[in-house]
Amino acid sequence: MGSSTVSSSKLLFRQLFEKDSSTYTYLLADISHPDRSALLIDPVDKTVDRDLSLIKDLGLKLIYAMNTHVHADHVTGTGLIKSKVPSAKSVISKASGSKADLLIVPGDKIQIGNLFLEVRATPGHTLGCVTYVTGGGPDQPHPKMAFTGDALLIRGCGRTDFQGGSSEQLYKSVHSQIFTLPKETLIYPAHDYRGFTVSTVGEEMQYNPRLTKDEETYKSIMQNLNLPYPKMIDIAVPANMVCGLQDLTSKSS
């Protein structure tokens, strides 16, 4: 099993938690570069002030405010961030059908200083889900870090019963796009509900109670979850299709 510590002289990394929706927001920056460029993955509207205050304390310049997918359980912070940091660009996958400054496709690289993230398509929880993976190469973080959104959670995975979800597609996504990464790759999900903060590819390949099953068993597990209709979905999804700005407009009026 991997050591769950990252070695990089460039990377400043912070994991941040929003309690109400159990969402993890990630801050990454290249502090070896004079620009001290930074990005946020999956910021939440409620914690934007906390995140921007930390970015200020650390002397970073926020370049990108990114989402792994259109969230149904919270309003993204990307719109609010853009209103407070006009130079920051919102980022989401083209496949999500959402509005953003940068619509990324699989294989794209997102660069901050000399660090970069690669985009992998991991649909199944939603149609437009992507996983951001730190780059390869001796000057990039080792082990790699994978920001899996709701595709792969620690000992779990996102539900597949709405937003264009498909258990068949999610099974294929995780197996072809995440479980093919080196085993020591760190898994940083968009949520955890039991207080775990990180896992590894090797650990999930061995112990994920759903994704270690064969495809048919997995599909039957996913079809029988009987989860309640998400409380926030009718507010969050339309807002998140436009960087959370719909919510922002209603708040400020």
Which residue ranges make up the site for a second copy (CB under 8 A)? 1-19, 25, 31, 47, 50, 54, 57-59, 141, 194-198, 203, 206-207
Nearer to a second copy, 143 or 158 (CB): 143
Give CA torsion, residues 111, 117, 121, 126, to 10 deg: -90
150 binds Fe ion (CB under 5 A): yes
Q: How far is the CB of 97 from Fe ion (least distance, A)?
A: 15
Which H/E stretch holds residue 38? strand 37-41
Pairing of strands 61-66, 89-93: parallel
Where do we find the tokens 């599909």? Answer: 219
- Binding partner of residue 176 among a second copy, Fe ion, none, CB under 5 to 8 Å per kind? none
Q: How far is the CB of 157 from a second copy (least distance, A)?
A: 17
CB atoms within 10 A of CB 192: 19
Q: How far is the CB of 48 from a second copy (least distance, A)?
A: 12
- Binding partner of residue 207 among Fe ion, a second copy, none, CB under 5 to 8 Å per kind? a second copy
Q: How far is the CB of 242 from a second copy (least distance, A)?
A: 25
- Binding partner of residue 194 among a second copy, Fe ion, none, CB under 5 to 8 Å per kind? a second copy
Q: How far is the CB of 17 from a second copy (least distance, A)?
A: 4
Q: Measured in whole angstroms, how far is the alpha carbon of residue 176 from the centre of its chain?
A: 18
Give a three-class secondary structure readout of 209-227: CCCCCCHHHHHHHHHCCCC
Residue in 29, 2, 32 with CA at minimum distance from that of residue 13: 29
CB atoms within 10 A of CB 176: 12
247 binds Fe ion (CB under 5 A): no
Sites of contact with Fe ion (CB under 5 A): 71, 150
